[in-house]
Amino acid sequence: MKKFVNDPQQFVPEMLEGLALANPDTLKYVPEYNLIMRADGPDENKVSIVQGSGSGHEPAHVMIVGKGMLDAACPGDVFAAPPFDYVYETTKMLASPKGVLLLVNNYTGDKMVFEMAQEMSSADGVNVKTLFINDDVSVEDSTYTIGRRGVAGNFFVIKAVAAAAERGADLDEVIRIGEKVNSVTRTMGVALTACTPPAKGSPLFELGDDEIEMGVGIHGEPGRRRAKMMPANEIVEELLTPVVKDLPFGDGDRVALMVNGLGGTPISELYLLYGQAHKRLAEQGITVGRSYVGEYCTSLDMAGASITLVKLDDEIEGLLNDPAEIPIRVF
């Protein structure tokens, strides 16, 4: 497998360095902690929003640092939780009189690290809280989780809490909004191929040429079932049905619809999937109020996609409509 890489162990730091060099007016790189933060941060007049996870999911989360989105992101190595000291030091560096909110996708390693960092930084006098994101309906427990996984739906939680923070909301209000958005967000994904971590140099798991993994996790975790390849409309049906039923979404609802590429899927195919999902929702009386098509939360070079629905109301839609300035410029 061919990759643009020098030393695989330096893949993440070199990527972060390039990201900061490409965005010198808006981003700052702190190599000691794998930290990407706003160049003008921290802002003492707002709650600081920080996300951390393993690398390999770009643009999540380092490429969504900027005004109206994250104040900072401190990733670990590919598919690995950031070390405790990265999160602890980042929390202290981003400390604001209005507080710090740590956003964490629900994976056991990340959860343990962030809970410890919250406890230690709180003991140091930082006003910090943690919110866990768990939008994946595919499975209840998985390789790296107890409970549901956090996947592409985290973008909506990030966008909403960051917009609230920019408006001047206090930490309790920001958490309320994050919990609300998380509670009405549902996602399910499918893999057509495995991904290849740079340090491994070979696919993370085996998937036959005619096979797909329904409900795959963003680290290649097993999903609901392994199936034979099928037409796109049937794949959309199998993804969308459990997403709709889980909340449930229903006739008269207004939603945000995201079709997210997992890293190796052409944008043309993502729009094809979006069209199928949009029509299927319309048949159920569900109106799409906001649309998102592209790569938001990937799994390196995995060919595949996920579908996310968010139930909208005036408050959530207003927050999603607020401006944001980030390198990938998708919100």
User: Tens digit of pLDDT for each residue in 289-323?
Assistant: 999 999 999 999 999 999 999 999 999 999 999 99
Give tens-digit pLDDT for 210-262.
999 999 999 988 889 999 999 999 999 999 999 999 999 999 999 999 999 99
Compute the distance between CA of residue 212 and CA of residue 235 in angstroms, rounded to an integer.
10
Compute the distance between CA of residue 89 and CA of residue 248 in angstroms, rounded to an integer.
40
Please choose, from the candidates 261, 249, 243, 255, the residue with its C-alpha nearest in 3D space to the C-alpha of residue 330.
261
CATH architecture of 185-321: 2-Layer Sandwich (3.30)
Catalytic site residue from 219, 280, 307, 311: 219
Mean pLDDT of 166-180: 99
DSSP lists the bridge partners of residue 214 as 190, 225
Q: 119 is written with which tokens?
A: 């406890």
- Structural contact between residues 141 and 147, judged by C-beta atoms closer than 8 angstroms: yes
Residue 143: pLDDT band with limits 50, 70, 90: low
**Is 8-183's fold the same as 185-321's?**
no
Catalytic site residue from 57, 148, 159, 311: 57
> Residue 315: enclosing H or E segment and its boundaries?
helix 314-321
Q: Which CATH superfamily is domain 8-183 in?
A: Dihydroxyacetone kinase; domain 1 (3.40.50.10440)
Judge whether 61 counts as a catalytic residue.
Answer: no
Judge whether 219 counts as a catalytic residue.
Answer: yes
Sorted by where each begins, the domain ranges of the chain are 8-183, 185-321
pTM higher than 0.85? yes
